[in-house]
Amino acid sequence: MQRTVARVLAAMLAFAATAVPAAQGPAPPSPASASAISIPGTQQFDIASSSGKRSYRIFVSVPAKAAPEHGYPVLYVLDGNVMFLTALEAVRALERRPDMPKDLATVVVGIGYPDGVDAGVERTLDYTPAGGGNPQIRNPGGGADAFLAFVEDDLKPRIAGIARIDRTRQGIFGHSFGGLFVLHSLAARPDAFRVRVAASPSIWFAPKVRDELSAMVAKRKADAPLTAVLLTAGEFEQIPSPQTRVHPNAERLVGVLAERRQVDNARSVAELLAKAPNLDARFDEIAGEDHGTVIPAAISRAVWFMLAPALPVPAVPAAKDYLAMTPAQRYDLRLRVRDLPDRVRVPWLKELKKSLQDGLSPDEVQRLHDERNEMDAKNGTKPHAINADG
């Protein structure tokens, strides 16, 4: 149990130890007295797909807390060999917060690959849909449907045998090709997960995923189960970071960033999905991060997006009451509303807009509009692309 996780952590600690000069601090313990790190409540196992053609290493953490009334929510994390531990700590840190429900307890599942395989080759095949491709990527792809069938038909029943789970609260996180898979899975099996997080999705590799999602949006029914989708991208995934600008191959790298349009693609897909009935979609641009450094921040946002309780919807104030607030109070209210899903936020803003136009003079409305822009500039915030006029 936990052999691979323990070996990874032990190797990290060993590297850190060699970085400290021998003259500083006490001598390190001898190998005979050292022990590997173990993580309570975790296990790992290998499982073959029902087709018998693929094999995966699965990392699982079951909380020490008893299952909630309807069972544990489950977060599935792709690239589990390298992302499971980050996701696990993000989940447990959220559960320890005093402002979270005391019974919040989540099963975390990392989907990875056994020792001895090339994960780069394997993930390209598993995470990309048929019909995609790019001359810069030589590994074979197109296995996303088979991988999705493995998750649904083989892995989920296995996890249900390990812990009592809430089938209505299952989420999935994927980054890069993993984010592309998350979007494809939404089009292929919309009800497979109630929460999906596509971090830095490689839409450039399979642009047809946008057509798949458009078809899903067009036929989605008003009584479909409520689904939440978060797309993220780092600020420096489309424009060059300071490090990229001084790289020896800066011109080529800048060209790749511009060609792939990671930020614009993710934002436009979120806007497309927001049009679907009972589908809350949003896009977060994460400041100061590039395609690699964004991963921990994206995982943290994914965990909050899936597990944090929904925010209460504030009442729409009457025009005179809104005008009587201080600028700070109005700014705080606007920030609370900006965090609401589009299906709630946009009608709220339209109602406020009508209230202000009916109850205030044009000069008062303009002053409030100018104040909003000034407060955003002062605090480094900005409205959503889709607002009361959207």
Give the model confidence (pLDDT) of 367-378 as tens digits.
999 999 999 999
184 noted as active-site residue = no
Predicted confidence (pLDDT) at residue 115 exceeds the cutoff of 90:
yes
Catalytic residue (one of 185, 202, 289, 291) = 291
Dump pLDDT digits (tens) for 277-324.
999 999 999 999 999 999 999 999 999 999 999 889 999 999 999 999
Compare 58 and 385 and report the one with higher pLDDT: 58
Predicted confidence (pLDDT) at residue 213 exceeds the cutoff of 60:
yes
Residue pair 305/195 in contact (Cβ under 8 Å)? The answer is: yes
176 noted as active-site residue = yes
Q: CATH 3.40.50.1820: does it fit domain 42-307?
A: yes
Exposed, middle or buried: residue 76 (CB in 10 Å: 0-12, 13-18, 19+)? buried
C-alpha dihedral, 333 to 336 to 342 to 344, nearest 10°: -70
Residue pair 107/163 in contact (Cβ under 8 Å)? The answer is: yes
pLDDT of residue 195: 98
Dump pLDDT digits (tens) for 252-281.
999 999 999 999 999 999 999 999 999 999
Catalytic residue (one of 61, 95, 122, 176) = 176
Predicted confidence (pLDDT) at residue 134 exceeds the cutoff of 90:
no
Mean pLDDT of 322-347: 93
Closest CA to 198 of 101, 299, 323: 299
- pLDDT category at 135 given cuts 50, 70, 90 is confident
291 noted as active-site residue = yes
Per the structure block, which two tokens stand in for 143?
A: 């296995």
Catalytic residue (one of 122, 237, 271, 289) = 237
Predicted confidence (pLDDT) at residue 169 exceeds the cutoff of 90:
yes
Q: Which phi and psi (to 5°) does residue 236 adopt? A: -100, 30
Per the structure block, which two tokens stand in for 173?
A: 């996180």
Exposed, middle or buried: residue 318 (CB in 10 Å: 0-12, 13-18, 19+)? middle
Mean pLDDT of 342-350: 91
Burial 339-349 (b: 16+ CB within 10 A, else e): ebbbeebbebb
pLDDT of residue 387: 67
d(CA 20, CA 23): 8
pLDDT of residue 341: 86
Q: Where are the domains of the chain?
A: 1-38, 42-307, 319-379
Mean pLDDT of 203-215: 97
